Structure formats: C-alpha cells, structure tokens
Amino acid sequence: MKILILGAGAIGGYFGARLQQAGADVTFLVRSRRAAQLAEHGLAVRSPFGDFDVQPRWVEATAVREPYDLVLLTCKAYDLDGALEAIAPAMGPSTHVLPLLNGLSHLDRLAQVFGAERVVGGCCSIPVTLGPKGEVLHLAKMHRIAFGPLPGTSPDARAKLEQLHGFLSKTPVDSVLVDDMRQEMWEKFVGLCTLAAMTCLMRAAVGDIVSSEEGTALMTEALDACAGTATANGHPPREAAMGGFRRMLFDPASAGMASMLRDLEGGHRTEGRHVVADMLHRARAAGVDPGPLRAAWCHLESHELRARREARSTE
C-alpha cells in the first residue's frame, strides 16, 4: 500500500515517522522550505515513548504524477485549498483520503472535490509540535489516532484502513479502527473546541483556568455549549467521551493547552475560524446557547484582524 502524507509538520511528521518505523511505504508531500529541512536534518522524533530518527522520502507537488492508495491529509485548515490542489494528481479512481485535521467542515469540502466515496474519517489526540530544526516534539504520553469509514465511503477503503491499523499497531501509537467515525469526530470536536476556546480566551493552561474564581463555571458553560451543539446535530457525546473531557478540562494540576494556543502565542495563524467559529455558528443554528464561545471567537478574530492590519502598515 503506497501512502502519501500531505505535510511533514507536527501531525504528519509524527504519524508518518511512526508508519515508516513500522515498515510502511510512506512518501511525504512537502513544500520547498520543509524539503530543505528534511534534506539537512532527516526526520527526528523526540517522544516520551523513545526518540528515533527516520530517513524520509519526500516529493514536492510538481513531482506527483501517479496515484497513491491512501493519502493522509495533515495540513492546517487555512491551507486546505492549496493542499487539495497539491494532492489532486495523487488521487486516482481508487485512492482514499484520510484527513487528520481538527474540526469537521473539511469533510464536506473533501467530499465536494473528490467524491464522498473516497473520503475516510480521521482524528487524532496528541500534543505535538516542531522544534527549531523541524524535529517532531511529542510533548506528553498521549498519541491516539482514530480512523474509519464515513457513511458515504466506498467499501474498498476498509482493507486499506486495516493495513494502516496493522502498521500502527506495531508501534506504541494507540490506533483505533472505528465503525462510527462521524460520532468519533463530533466527540473530538466537542473536547478540542472547549479546550481551544477556553485556553485561547484565557491565554492560560487548563489548571490555571479552573483554579481561578470564575474558571470552572466558564469551562462548564463552554463544554455544555459544545456538547449541546453535538447533541442537537444528532451526535450526543457518549458518557465515556464526556468522562475523558471532564478529566482533561477540570484538572487543577494540568498544564495542558490546545495546539491552537501554542499557535496563537507563537505568532502563527490559528484555526479559530475552522474550530471555534464553526462550533459557534452550529450552536446558533441549533438554538443552543454558545456561552463563552462568543468571546473566544471574538478574541481570536480580533487578534487576527490586528495582526493583518499591522502587517499591512509595515509593507
């Protein structure tokens, strides 16, 4: 099975290196800056499960001329259109694409461009970022990846997903092949959106927030808004998922934060529109009180507008 991974960033780099470690046939589709970094340093993973290095194979978009069996999509949501253009030559009639982006709305776009039968569901829970030389820094002992067919996915995807699961099962990664992937993705959306909205709004980690006078009440309102929206959309989070979110979101000792806060504080663009605004708009449409999601999106959007204005004035 030939696997193409769009992006060798934090997520693509981590899961791609793990797949390569397990002997899978992996090629990264990267842009020139990342290609140069891979040529100079290879692909190094620093993980609490043990550090390792792989010698990656990569291509740039103009060199993709033949279909792959499976494409893993690991760009940020704001890069989706360019990424879809870049993978188009790799998408043959029987290729499937498995996105690992946070959020949900990219699924409709993928189905629109490639057809729902070629789109597989996927999500991951792992705190990971890139170091100064492009090394993958896995920040804590969580690295779960879930994937599985969506209602419209063609049946021949199953064998590929089983192979993917087989490779990942040879590594420490917590890999799960899921039957009801839309439910799984809604649950991830609920937990992540609550975490991203609250840690970005407060610019603090979970433990700092829930130790503050109003923090636990506001965190509860945010979780209720997200879970209520999922329920109104036909995907009430299961009790096991809610239990996990409560452990993650209300631990006064936790230094945990969303990758979106790392992006915000690192001066990078965020996926606020794709995650927080999308949940806010879905809450409104369903008549659910969005609670602190309004202030979180206002914070993220006004920060982005300011950055754009200041960039224009220095041009």
Ligand X SMILES: NC(=O)C1=CN([C@@H]2O[C@H](COP(=O)(O)OP(=O)(O)OC[C@H]3O[C@@H](n4cnc5c(N)ncnc54)[C@H](OP(=O)(O)O)[C@@H]3O)[C@@H](O)[C@H]2O)C=CC1
Ligand Y SMILES: CC(C)(CO)C(=O)C(=O)O
Size of the site for ligand X (CB under 6 A): 31
What number of helices (H) and strands (E) belong to the chain?
A: 13, 12
Q: What's phi and psi for 79, nearest 5 deg?
A: -105, 10
Indicate whether 207 belongs to the interface with ligand Y (CB under 6 A).
Answer: no
- How far is residue 83's CA from residue 77's CA, in Å, rounded to a whole number? 9
Binding mask 100-139 for ligand X (x = CB under 6 A): xxx---------------------x-xxxxx---------
E strand or H helix that includes residue 145: strand 144-149
Q: Which of 37, 102, 153, 171 is the binder for ligand Y (CB under 6 A)?
A: 102
Pick 103 or 292: Cβ nearer ligand X: 103
User: At closest approach, how far in Å is the CB of 127 from ligand X?
Assistant: 5
Pick 221 or 279: Cβ nearer ligand X: 279
- How far is residue 220's CA from residue 250's CA, in Å, rounded to a whole number? 9
Pick 195 or 218: Cβ nearer ligand Y: 195
Q: How far is CA 160 from the centre of its chain?
A: 21
Other Cβ atoms closer than 10 A to 127? 17
Indicate whether 10 belongs to the interface with ligand X (CB under 6 A).
Answer: yes
Q: Which of 126, 204, 223, 280 is the binder for ligand Y (CB under 6 A)?
A: 126
Q: How far is CA 25 from the centre of its chain?
A: 22
* 45 to 29, 134, 229: CA distances (angstroms): 18, 9, 37
Site for ligand X in 63-82 (CB under 6 A): 74-77, 79, 82
Indicate whether 127 belongs to the interface with ligand Y (CB under 6 A).
Answer: yes
Residue 83, binding choice from ligand Y, ligand X, none, Cβ under 5 to 8 Å by partner class: ligand X
Indicate whether 89 belongs to the interface with ligand X (CB under 6 A).
Answer: no
- How far is residue 26's CA from residue 56's CA, in Å, rounded to a whole number? 8
Largest CA distance in the chain: 58
Binding residues vs ligand X (CB under 6 A): 6-12, 29-31, 33-34, 74-77, 79, 82-83, 86, 100-102, 124, 126-130, 259, 271
